Amino acid sequence: MLTIGKLGNAAGVKVPTIRYYEQIGLLPEPERSAGNQRLYGKSALERLAFIRHSRELGFPLEAIRDLLSLSDRPDQSCAAADIIAKDQLAAVDARIARLTALKAELERMIAQCAQGTIADCRIIKVLGDHSHCSQDHRISEAVE
């Protein structure tokens, strides 16, 4: 059995993150020692590693919750997991497209800079007025 600190070290996750995952139901309530210390077994470590890796791949918490629910029923079809992963891939592709547009706009701003004074600085002008941009590259609220 692992204490919360040892579980965190083993999974590469901070203790407050473990507590948060317990609070929102991604990790089950752990056993407690006689001194009321949290104690975790191998299954908690495996589940926490699954969550951490999913987060590293950018999956939102609700998708992770769904994937964990699916993993708890290993005899069913993996079609639902495929859909979740495809949705995440689409989100990554959309983010890459937005970042590519941002990169192009920043490169354009820098290339147009005349290295003069701030009064004539193209970077300051573009940042102050979106209409000077070559394309719409605004990041929506859905992207974090």
Tokens of 71: 């993993």
Binned at pLDDT 50, 70 and 90, residue 125 comes out as confident
Q: CA dist 111 to 18, 100, 104, 105, 125, Å?
A: 46, 16, 10, 10, 14
Give per-residue pLDDT as tens, 28-63.
999 998 898 999 999 999 999 999 999 999 999 999
Length of the chain (residues):
144
Query: Do 52 and 17 form a contact (C-beta atoms < 8 A)?
Result: no
Query: Do 43 and 3 form a contact (C-beta atoms < 8 A)?
Result: no
pLDDT at 94: 94
Residue identified by tokens 């992963």 is 85
Judged against a pLDDT cut of 90, whether residue 18 lies above it is answered with: yes
Binned at pLDDT 50, 70 and 90, residue 137 comes out as low
Query: Do 38 and 30 form a contact (C-beta atoms < 8 A)?
Result: yes
Percent of the chain with pLDDT over 70: 93
Neighbours of 59 (CB within 10 A): 20
